[in-house]
Amino acid sequence: MEIQYRALMPEDSFQYRQVRLESLKLHPECFGSGYTEQVKLPKLYFERLIEDSSQENIMLGAFHGSKLVGLCGVVTQSTKTAEIIQMYVDSDYRGIGLGVNLLSLAKKYASTRLKVAALNLIVYRNNESAIRAYEKSGFQVVESMSDFNENEYYLAFTI
């Protein structure tokens, strides 16, 4: 199975919206945003950024042919850090390394384009498969956050 990885372009925004809403509907336990609220919006947060070809915030995608099957957003937090958001892999494509490959591309983008020193992310503790992918990609749980939610892990990767 050949998978292509790349940044989403304006012409991908409709497909992005479909996959993002699917992720919220099928896995509400994994995301801070809810399907009911998001589906009503004329444009999702990253849908606008994709259409505007944002250079500071990027949505990476995994494609099987022309079908978008994985997402990984990278948003600038400061001149030194960026955050991974909206990570999702279609259930038919899990377990074959798509998440790890998307994270590898995100690290490369953060290092070469954003010139940040670290990538951060937040994941719910019960999302064990995501935690494994993050740890396999070199992210480590950071225990010292003062605003740490007891149901979430805060992970960091130093570039």
Strand pairing report for 140-141 and 118-124: unpaired
pLDDT at 144: 44
pLDDT in tens, the chain (159 residues): 899 999 999 999 999 999 999 999 999 988 989 999 999 999 999 999 999 999 889 999 999 999 999 999 999 999 999 999 999 999 999 999 999 999 999 999 999 999 999 999 999 888 888 999 999 999 999 864 445 556 888 899 998
103-129 pLDDT per residue, tens:
999 999 999 999 999 999 999 888 888
> What pLDDT score does 149 carry?
59
SS (H, E, C) 55-114: CCCEEEEEEECCEEEEEEEEEECCCCEEEEEEEEECHHHCCCCHHHHHHHHHHHHHHHHH
The alpha carbon of residue 142 and the mean position of all alpha carbons in its chain are separated, in whole angstroms, by 19
For the chain, the residue count is: 159
- Domains of the chain in start order, with CATH, are 3-113 (3.40.630.30)
- Please tell me the pTM assigned to this model: 0.92
